[in-house]
Amino acid sequence: MLRARKRFPVIVLMFIIGLFFGMFITYSLSNRPVDIGENQVLLLADRDYFEGIHSLLSEARSSIHMVMFDIKYYPDYPESLVNSLLSDLENAAARGVEVRIITDEYLTEKPVVRILKESGIDIKFDSGEVTTHSKLIIIDSKIVILGSTNWSYHSIEKNHEANVVIHSSSFARQFEGYFERIWMES
């Protein structure tokens, strides 16, 4: 009986150490790309979205095609993360990257459309007969970002959101076809 009492604290301590070790391993591996065949897939969840998208937009060389339900601009908060992503699009266009955006007229405000157009970005509202609820970015016809994050303060800085970055030219070609179809209908 005495031996069992001496073992109990050791067992509890080992359990707690194991729990923390498991949490550490899970957290440290959660934001690493996963290889699926020749393709890489990366999760961008919650606050990881901004840094991941910011980096990918900054590295774009030929094209950024985007379908986004809601795009906001915050003139009273020039340092907002959403405004930074809008600047990334403007900078890409200034580098000669083709930037085309389809958004929904219901939520996206006119000032953001004007600002993007003045930067040389082609932007269209979807057909008024449908709601474009997609959140899709295709970069250089080889990277697809697909998920739940709108370009708004709450989506980027407050909400739980989940997105995947897929490095696959063949997958990107399928989404380019989807983008072109919506572009022609808009």
Annotated active-site residue 133? The verdict is yes
| Residue of 117, 133, 154, 158 marked catalytic | 133
% of the chain at pLDDT higher than 70: 81
Active site residue 135: yes
What pLDDT, in 10s, does the model give residues 130-164?
A: 888 999 999 999 999 999 999 999 999 999 999 99
Catalytic choice (46, 48, 122, 140)? 140
pLDDT tens digits, one per residue of 22-45: 544 444 445 677 767 777 889 999
142 is catalytic: no
| C-beta separation of 97 from 63 below 8 A | yes
The phi, psi pair for 120, rounded to 5°, reads 85, 15
Instruction: Give the DSSP per-residue string, 86-107.
Output: HHHHHHHHHTT-EEEEEE-TTT
Catalytic residue among 65, 72, 135, 167: 135
Cβ neighbours for 120, distance < 8 A, ≥ 6 positions apart: 93, 94, 99
